[in-house]
Amino acid sequence: MLDNVALILGTTFMYATPLVYSALAGVVSEKSGVINLGLEGMMVIGAFIGATCGFYFGSPFLAFVCAGIAGGLMGLLHAVACVSFSANQVISGVALNFIGPGLALFLSRIFFNGATTTPSISLTNKMPRVLSGLFPESSFFYYIFDNMYATTYIALFFVILIWYVFNKTVIGLRLIAVGEHPVAAQTVGINVVKIRYCAVTISGVLAGFGGASLSLAIVSNFRPTLVSGQGFIALAAMIFGKWKPFGALWACLLFGFAQALVIFLGQFHQLHLPMDLLSMLPYVLTIVILIYFVGKAVAPSADGIPFEKEQKI
Amino acid sequence: MKRVYFVLLVVGLSLICFGCNEEKAKEKAEFKVAMVTDVGGVNDQSFNQSAWEGLQKAKEGLKVDVSYIESKQDADYQSNLETLLDAQNDIIWAIGFKMADIVMQVATQNPEQKYGIIDFTYGKEVPDNIVCVMFKEQEASFLTGFIAAKMSKTRTIGFVGGMDVPVIHRFKFGFLAGAKYADPSIEILSQYAASFSDAAKGKAIANQMYKNGADVVMHAAGGVGDGVIEAAKEKNKMAIGVDRDQNDLAPENVITSSMKKVGSAIYKVTESFTKGEWQGGKTVVYGIKEGGVDIAPTTSNLVPAEILSEVENLKKEIVAGNIVTPASEEDYNKFLESL
Amino acid sequence: MVFLRKFKNMVENNPKLFPFISILIGLVSGGVVLLISGYNPFEAYRIILWGIFGKISYFSYTIVKSTPIILTGLSVTFAFRTGLFNIGAEGQFIMGTIVAAIFGSLFQMPFYLHIPFIILLTIIITGIFGAVIGFLKANYGVHEVISSIMMNWIALYLRNYFVRLSWLAKPNSEQTKSIFDSAVITFFDNFKMSKEGILWLSGHPICKGILRAPTNAGIFIAILAVIFVYFILNKTTLGYRLKAVGFNSDSARFGGIDVNKSFVTSMFISGALAGLAGALQVMAVSHNISILSMMEGYGFDGIAVALIGGCSAVGNLWAGLFFGALKYGGTKLQPLMGAPFEIINIVMGVIVFFVAMPKIIPFIFSIFEKKGEKNVR
């Protein structure tokens, strides 16, 4: 029984990791006042570049960084549109969701001779499972930590880091000020444009990491269906978590837990649960929990509103 | 303002006229063969890819012009078939039973055009301009099930299916029957993922099976299978691939694969067509006997020779008809009784 | 230079031209990507144009392909105008396909009853499915983006569940039974397949061209829906109220509008429009539904259509036709010149990207002007 609990927890973390990165990406961007609907597109690019670089360079961490850079470039594109040209942020995000997968598949066909599935990376060249060797096989902690890659710990680190930056540092306070009231922030001398540029680019980097944590850790290759909607789930997790880093973490863990539960329950054929109906559980559960346990979510007040430098109070 | 619209209109129309120049007629090869993929796309690591590889082989071996067109949505099938019809192909292949109704429709409307459909048969009423190609996936899966049972040290094996649908049943019950044939007391875990894309789910299911004592897991689940094989790779257990030789995904762990050689079937039908024998109006069934399904050639890397020689004997039995491999749950239960 | 300045003035004074400029930029960017990867962009666009207008049948296909995304686009448009972001059009579309597949294959009645019956049921069921999103937002403060994303997946799994139910499934397949002829809105569906039909059509190439595609009544229903949305939004007090909420929900509430009710109403209409797209797709093109291994993207395409169409009912019609044409024409790239279809997604993305930022257009002009000045010197 206990090892089942451990396995469920392990699966929870495995499922949640890519979502945590992308939900954090959403948090950083939206806290600065820019809606980032392009998470899905950024994740696909990140997953593709991660798998490709991992295959060619042989170093998972280098590949991970490359994926971040690729995601960051997408973020920069979003920033140029939303900050410099006061674009409609929702529309720009939707555009990235077309460009991201389109570009990833297009590049894949060019790099890999027409194939949209990248070759598999060998076990020694993929993300290491840092703590998995510490516990004896079939022990409680073995089942928890066996599925936790370096990416999981990095994700948790980013949660704490972003929480710290938001709550304890001047930069974080400025970023929040920019997202809540950019005009006031500007009058006290904060460079709104610069902060938003940085935030949106970092957001892209994180989403790129999210994609790479799929293609370098959970599996070791990219295929077009790999991301299939996880960027949108992350978006939901961010709102669920009320635009807070720890909130987003809990939301992703909850979602991962529900998925793990589906897999656990699915093994009992005597229950006669149709797998299709059972698979709805994470989505239904999210809505139910939102209704009963989470109050109204409030976005940063300047979220989605383009900022114009010349704008006076 | 009106002038602007006018200019746009003129530019547009002139582009159209430019576009309407006659289609280039390329006369290189004697025959033209093309295929429509299903929504999996041409690189699905599965039967679409295999089909395209078969056509490419035909291009070299038979000197035919080949091309493909990918479907992105179910609604694309008909338009894609029509596009290939306009391109004046000699044979148009529809890869996948999802196109069954549409192929029937276009074949009726265009009686001179020859079509082929994979994984579907219209039974006794196959029109003369269609050839149906079916595979006995269960025969290859029977062999992989046999290998799995022989290779398992824990006497427990697993099967991960994509969805609870007939084509997956052929893999599943063939596998189950093969395993029970090798060892009637073997324990078999099985679970459906309700997805063909969620790799994380495949990995979690496989992990769960390995935890519950299985040491060989077969999948028939597309992208979900990537996760299954990944789990085997990490846990250093055994996995069995599907559709093509998936040994390259984990050379130390994928002991065999239940191969479905759509490509070679397409090649054969195309070959006989170029020789003047069109197999239209018929359903061609490819099993082990015809070389349409088989276990992967890399099986010998990880599976000992004595098991392989038993497998060879089994093949002969299947070809001779002494063993009838089950393709559905009903047949499987009958098979179990006969053991 | 004079021409450029004139052009600039003209563009800047007519915001309506912005989408056209974006389309131009999108096509040029796609061309550049093609060029870099070694394909001839002119050849590619020639193939696409030929693929859209080259034959009568191609053109009817374009219309058939455009119909569902015009409707999902309309659904997104309607929600947008009333202050909601309906990312759930995908799920509502799927619900529409389920409703049509069930009620089309269960009963048989005269077509003049059956078709309106299915359409009515679709509107009610998918409308309610959409309204749930509005209800959750109004009563529990659940953000519509979350609930609609979740509803998309729920709809997907629901469809896969229904497809496998024994009373609906076609034996030994991954599809449902086909709907009865009385529920089919494809023109001359049986005639086309009959011997006389084939004979007659071979003598009338124009009719044959038109009917080669599953040409159907869907486009007329879509146009009716466009008129309906235009009318509701611009000519009725309901539309006025919904738009007021969309414009500023706080001041609308202050002005005495029941904001909660308007969320529900708006999502009902939006959901029904997307659901209608799904139902028509089944009644006109597929005639049954099959297992979905992933979302087909009608709802997401609808978002792009709504945005290119400037979120107006009529603009949506043109944008839907444009997108449908590009998607259909784009499928011919692979067999004829080997260029990947994904280029269409890139072009679409770039177009939407530039639609998002009308302010970039004066900026681009200013770059050209500077260059021009240098040349003059």
This complex has an ipTM of 0.90
C325 within 8 A of C15, measured Cβ to Cβ: no
Cβ distance of C161 and A106 shorter than 8 Å: no
Q: Which of C54-68, C141-155, C350-364 has the lowest mean pLDDT?
A: C350-364
C129-157 tens-digit pLDDT: 999 999 999 888 888 888 999 999 999 99
The per-residue pLDDT for A97 is: 92
Per-window interface: B 105-164 vs C, CB < 8 A: 105, 108-109, 111, 162-164
Best of C72, C331, C343, C345 to disrupt the B interface (most B CBs within 10 Å) is C331
- Residue B124, classified by CB atoms within 10 Å of its CB into exposed (0-12), middle (13-18) or buried (19+), is exposed
Check CB contact of A11 with chain B, cutoff 8 Å.
yes
- Is B25's pLDDT higher than 60? no
A215-253 tens-digit pLDDT: 999 999 898 888 888 999 999 899 889 899 999 999 999
Facing residue for A92 by CB, picked from C33, C140, C353: C353
Check CB contact of B199 with chain A, cutoff 8 Å.
yes
User: Whose CA is closest to C89, among C272, C223, C353?
Assistant: C272
CB pairs < 8 Å spanning A and B: 94
Per-window interface: A 196-215 vs C, CB < 8 A: none
Chain C touching partners, 3 or more CB pairs below 8 A: A, B
User: Whose CA is closest to B302, among B232, B230, B227, B203?
Assistant: B232
Cβ distance of B204 and A14 shorter than 8 Å: yes
Cβ distance of B192 and A219 shorter than 8 Å: no
Q: What's the mean pLDDT when you consider all of chain B?
A: 87
Facing residue for C349 by CB, picked from A99, A235, A290: A99
The per-residue pLDDT for A309 is: 63
Check CB contact of A56 with chain C, cutoff 8 Å.
no
- Is A313's pLDDT higher than 70? no
Question: What is the band of B26 on the pLDDT scale with cuts at 50, 70, 90?
Answer: very low
Check CB contact of A10 with chain B, cutoff 8 Å.
yes
Facing residue for C360 by CB, picked from A85, A287, A296: A85
- Is A166's pLDDT higher than 90? yes
Chain A residues close to C26, C-beta within 8 Å: none
Facing residue for A236 by CB, picked from C140, C145, C342: C145
C211-241 tens-digit pLDDT: 888 889 999 999 999 999 999 999 999 998 8
Alpha carbons B180 and C283: distance in angstroms, whole number: 46
Q: Which of A23-37, B226-240, C248-262 has the lowest mean pLDDT?
A: C248-262
Chain A residues close to B156, C-beta within 8 Å: none
The per-residue pLDDT for B20 is: 44
Cβ distance of A284 and C150 shorter than 8 Å: yes
Query: B120: nearest CA in chain C?
Result: C173
- Is C67's pLDDT higher than 90? yes
A299 within 8 A of A243, measured Cβ to Cβ: yes
B121-161 tens-digit pLDDT: 888 888 999 999 999 999 999 999 999 999 999 999 999 99
Query: A103: nearest CA in chain C?
Result: C346
Quick one: average pLDDT of A253-278? 90
Nearest CA-CA distance, residue C361 and chain A, Å: 10
Query: A98: nearest CA in chain C?
Result: C349
Nearest CA-CA distance, residue C13 and chain A, Å: 18
Cβ distance of A11 and B204 shorter than 8 Å: yes
Facing residue for A225 by CB, picked from B197, B248, B249: B197
User: pLDDT higher for C149 or A271?
Assistant: C149
Facing residue for C294 by CB, picked from A225, A232, A295: A225
The per-residue pLDDT for B262 is: 92
The per-residue pLDDT for B17 is: 45
Query: C138: nearest CA in chain A?
Result: A296
User: Whose CA is closest to C178, among C93, C278, C275, C286?
Assistant: C286
Quick one: average pLDDT of C117-127? 96
Q: Which of A133-142, B267-276, C316-325, C362-371 has the lowest mean pLDDT?
A: C362-371
The per-residue pLDDT for C375 is: 61
- Is B324's pLDDT higher than 70? yes
Q: Read off the pTM.
A: 0.91
Cβ distance of B82 and C213 shorter than 8 Å: yes
Facing residue for A263 by CB, picked from B43, B201, B248: B201
Alpha carbons A50 and A226: distance in angstroms, whole number: 13
Per-window interface: A 119-178 vs C, CB < 8 A: none
